[in-house]
Amino acid sequence: MSRSALSELKTLLRFPFQGPDWSNRFMIGSALLFAGWVVPLLPALFVYGYAVELMRRVIQGEDPELPPWQDWGRLFTDGLRAFVVAFVYLLPGTVLYFGGIGFYYISFLIMAVFQPQDPPTGLFLLALAALFLGLFLGSLLYLLGGLPLPAALAHFVSEDRLAAAFHFRRWWTVLRNRGWEYLAAWLLLLGIAVAAYLILMLPYYTICLCWLVPFLMIPVAFYLTVVAAALFGIVWRECQTQS
């Protein structure tokens, strides 16, 4: 990796902790994700909308910087649209993943109620097969759905139309000449997420610090969200310039 590329990477990883009033902006985002433990989904939609706003600014040529929390109506609308895009792309994996788990537990419930002493071997094996296939195929489809998801979101953000996220040929035309850079960005983000997870697991295995893990996960999740928005905003902007 060249020095310039390393410098750009350091700038990208540090920007959430720089800029005007970054601490308050970071705390608001983390607080909204924390509120999602009490009120499911609704607070997170504002965070998704915030990520959309950040990506929009980066695509338009601005340097990565946490924007102010304002125009909450637009944040909610953008967040809802981003959630719909992610839901559609990840739906097949979700159905298979949780479908396999659901079939497994329902099968065992049936066996426990109707044949507790002598459960049928065939149903038992079918339940195990459904579980493992659901977990494997569901995870595979999550990967296949997650791989193009940032590009779909970036196209939706740049066009400001929900339907743009599903214009596969159009956003692939933008990406195809620099697909390796997009893949590298995706793998970079995955690596950061895995590293963050491993670090968070260290206090989990202690007795006195394990209670901190859920609270540490919240700011880490917000950090990954804004870094991903900036990273793919940069990649999309550069791809548009070259297309």
CB 46 within 8 A of CB 60: no
CA-based nearest residue to 151, from 176, 169, 175, 180: 175
- pLDDT above 70 covers what percent of the chain? 91
Residue 176 pLDDT: 75
pLDDT tier, 1 (very low <50, low <70, confident <90, very high otherwise): very low
Calpha distance 175→32 (Å, rounded) = 33
Alpha helices in the chain (DSSP H): 3-14, 22-35, 42-59, 72-114, 121-146, 149-159, 168-175, 179-204, 213-242
Residue entry with tokens 């990406």: 175
CA-based nearest residue to 143, from 94, 193, 201: 94
Residue 119 pLDDT: 62
List, in order, residues 6 or more apart from 198 with CB less than 8 Å away.
none
List, in order, residues 6 or more apart from 70 with CB less than 8 Å away.
none
Is 181 a residue whose pLDDT tops 90?
A: no
In a domain, 112, yes or no: no
Mean pLDDT of the chain: 87
In a domain, 115, yes or no: no
In a domain, 242, yes or no: yes
Pick 72 or 199 by higher pLDDT.
72
Please write the tens of the pLDDT for every residue from 191-204: 998 888 888 777 77
Calculate mean pLDDT across residues 97-118: 79
pTM of the model as a whole: 0.88
Residue 94 pLDDT: 92
Please write the tens of the pLDDT for every residue from 144-180: 999 999 999 999 999 999 999 998 888 888 777 777 8
Alpha helices in 115-212 (DSSP H): 121-146, 149-159, 168-175, 179-204
Please tell me the total count of domains within the chain: 1
In a domain, 156, yes or no: no
62 exposed, middle or buried (CB, 10 Å; 0-12, 13-18, 19+)? middle
> Where in the sequence is the domain holding 25, given as residue range(s)?
1-70+170-243
In a domain, 154, yes or no: no
Is 82 a residue whose pLDDT tops 50?
A: yes
CA-based nearest residue to 46, from 58, 29, 34: 29
Is 118 a residue whose pLDDT tops 70?
A: no
CA dihedral 75, 76, 82, 85 (to 10 degrees): -160
Calpha distance 226→31 (Å, rounded) = 14
The 8-class DSSP code of residue 17 comes to G
Would you put residue 71 in left (φ > 0), alpha (ψ -120 to 50) or beta?
Answer: left
Is 22 a residue whose pLDDT tops 60?
A: yes
Is 243 a residue whose pLDDT tops 70?
A: no
